[in-house]
């Protein structure tokens, strides 16, 4: 498939990094099209562990990395990750859009200030300056990559930012230095990607965060500041909707959420702690413990619907090993009304009661067990695990084609 979009179906942290790596092994190019260094994508492959905040994780598979105009860019992260990639012979052909927005130190300060003002209603942001950078972009006061290639206009634009926010801004000299460093990589990502698609080459659009964190379609205001659904690949990278061939929805075998906001299937107590520990559910970017819960089908159905998901990749199935029973929320009860699909409205979700089905778990497994299963394929999975995956398919109405059973590439079952 020439144009594949990878999108998260939950609250982010679904394991999109590994899935992107797997899908990029035969791709020519991989694009980040929204978000910034709030993302944390990890790839463990060929004995190496690579962490990405800004560059697409699929670049670890050798695809040409691109950062498109819909992103908010932390330049220091870009330089660091590019250096790392180059040191292992990867990242060649890297291109960044001249229209991508730049996160400045003032945006990180503003991020912290806004959170403090919100007090008890704080979003729990990653403090990476994401919201303030997107809001300056929307106000048309933002600094774009092309601005740091031209000192005179940069100074004027920084002055506007200083007056607007009443805070000291970045030294233009430093930004011009960054500009010189980034100049060789600046290009028209939109045209480059469209040309590749014309040639029938494979491009993977690597989404960050997840559907429920989408600024328009998520649990607002407890969301990020960009569109995270599959359609954002079109606007964030300048490719027409009819160019997209498939949308891969990535979901974890259970739910997690970082930061504040409604979470109908949240688990507290020992069971929640156990899944958090086994699944190592601590933020890649911030180290914060993630909240964990059972699968939530009404929200998944919504996410699948609005991104028109072609197939699903389920990740971290191994984490549920050893649980006697596993629950799935298949419907909501909203004051006596049964909901099978739910828009993530905070007001609505605060009132729903999850209706669960309970499935049998499977025994404890070692990494070696999962490795053997990965080599042998679907039939080698424990019966109860197959039943769990089949329940996901039945209740979401989407086929599960890939089941990841460990962080490392190679620990997955392809159907």
Our CB check for ligand IMP shows the closer of 13 and 190 to be: 13
Q: Is residue 25 packed enough to be buried (19+ CB in 10 Å), middle (13-18) or exposed (0-12)? A: middle
Beta bridge partners of 96: 67, 186
Axis-axis angle for helices 172-182, 151-165 (nearest 10): 130
The CA radius of gyration of the chain, in Å to the nearest whole number, is 21
Give the pairing type, strands 48-52 and 64-67: unpaired
Answer whether 231's CB lies under 8 Å from 240's CB: no
* Contacts to ligand IMP by CB under 6 A: 11-13, 38-40, 123-126, 128, 130-131, 208-209, 213, 222, 224-225, 258-259
Residue 261 CB, nearest approach to ligand IMP (Å): 7
Residue 288 CB, nearest approach to ligand IMP (Å): 7
Which residues does the annotation mark as catalytic?
A: 13, 41
Our CB check for ligand IMP shows the closer of 102 and 330 to be: 102
Residue 127 CB, nearest approach to ligand IMP (Å): 7
Our CB check for ligand IMP shows the closer of 28 and 214 to be: 214
Answer whether 36's CB lies under 8 Å from 330's CB: no
**Position with the least CB separation from ligand IMP:** 259
Q: Is the peptide bond before 221 cis (omega within 30 degrees of 0)?
A: yes
Sheet of strand 186-187, all strands in order from the earlier edge strand to the far edge? 186-187, 95-97, 64-67, 29-32, 203-206, 3-8, 246-252, 311-315, 400-404, 412-414
Residue 283 CB, nearest approach to ligand IMP (Å): 7
Our CB check for ligand IMP shows the closer of 149 and 349 to be: 349
CA distance 48 to 370: 19
Helix-, strand-, coil-residue percentages of the chain, each rounded to 5: 40, 20, 35
Our CB check for ligand IMP shows the closer of 149 and 262 to be: 262
Residue 189 CB, nearest approach to ligand IMP (Å): 21
């Amino acid at each position: 498939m020439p144009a594949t979009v990878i999108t998260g179906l939950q609250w982010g942290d679904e394991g999109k990094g590994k899935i992107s790596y797997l899908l990029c092994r035969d791709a020519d190019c991989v694009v980040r099209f929204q978000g910034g260094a709030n993302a944390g994508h990890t790839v463990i492959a060929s004995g190496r562990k690579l962490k990405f905040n800004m560059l697409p994780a699929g670049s670890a598979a050798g695809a040409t990395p691109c950062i498109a105009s819909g992103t908010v860019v932390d330049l220091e992260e870009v330089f660091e990750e590019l250096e790392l990639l180059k040191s292992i012979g990867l990242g060649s052909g890297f291109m960044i859009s001249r229209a991508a927005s730049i996160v400045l130190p003032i945006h990180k300060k503003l991020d912290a200030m806004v959170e403090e003002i919100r007090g008890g209603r704080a979003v729990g942001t990653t403090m990476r300056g994401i919201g303030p950078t997107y809001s300056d972009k929307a106000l048309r006061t933002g600094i774009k990559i092309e601005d740091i290639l031209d000192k005179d206009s940069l100074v004027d634009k920084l002055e506007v930012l200083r007056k607007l926010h009443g805070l000291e801004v970045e030294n233009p000299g430093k930004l011009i230095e960054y500009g010189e460093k980034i100049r060789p990589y600046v290009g028209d990502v939109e045209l480059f990607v469209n040309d590749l698609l014309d040639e029938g080459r494979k491009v993977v659009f690597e989404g960050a965060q997840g559907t429920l964190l989408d600024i328009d379609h998520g649990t607002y205001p407890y969301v990020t500041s960009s569109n995270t659904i599959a359609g954002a690949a079109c606007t964030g990278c300048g490719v027409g909707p009819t160019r997209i061939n498939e949308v891969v929805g990535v979901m974890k075998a259970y739910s997690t959420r970082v930061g504040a906001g409604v979470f109908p299937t949240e688990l507290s107590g020992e069971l929640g702690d156990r899944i958090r520990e086994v699944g190592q559910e601590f933020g890649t970017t911030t180290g914060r413990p993630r909240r964990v819960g059972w699968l939530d089908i009404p929200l998944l159905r919504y996410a699948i619907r609005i991104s028109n998901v072609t197939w699903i990749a389920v990740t971290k199935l191994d984490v549920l090993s050893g649980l006697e029973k596993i629950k799935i929320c298949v419907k909501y009860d909203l004051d006596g009304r049964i909901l099978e699909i739910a828009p993530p409205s905070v007001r609505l979700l605060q009132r729903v009661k999850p209706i669960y089905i309970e499935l049998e778990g499977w025994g404890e497994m070692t990494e070696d067990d999962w490795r053997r299963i990965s080599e042998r394929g679907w039939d080698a999975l424990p019966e109860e695990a197959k039943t769990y995956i089949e329940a996901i398919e039945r209740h979401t109405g989407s086929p599960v084609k890939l089941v990841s059973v460990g962080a490392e590439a190679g620990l997955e079952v392809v159907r």
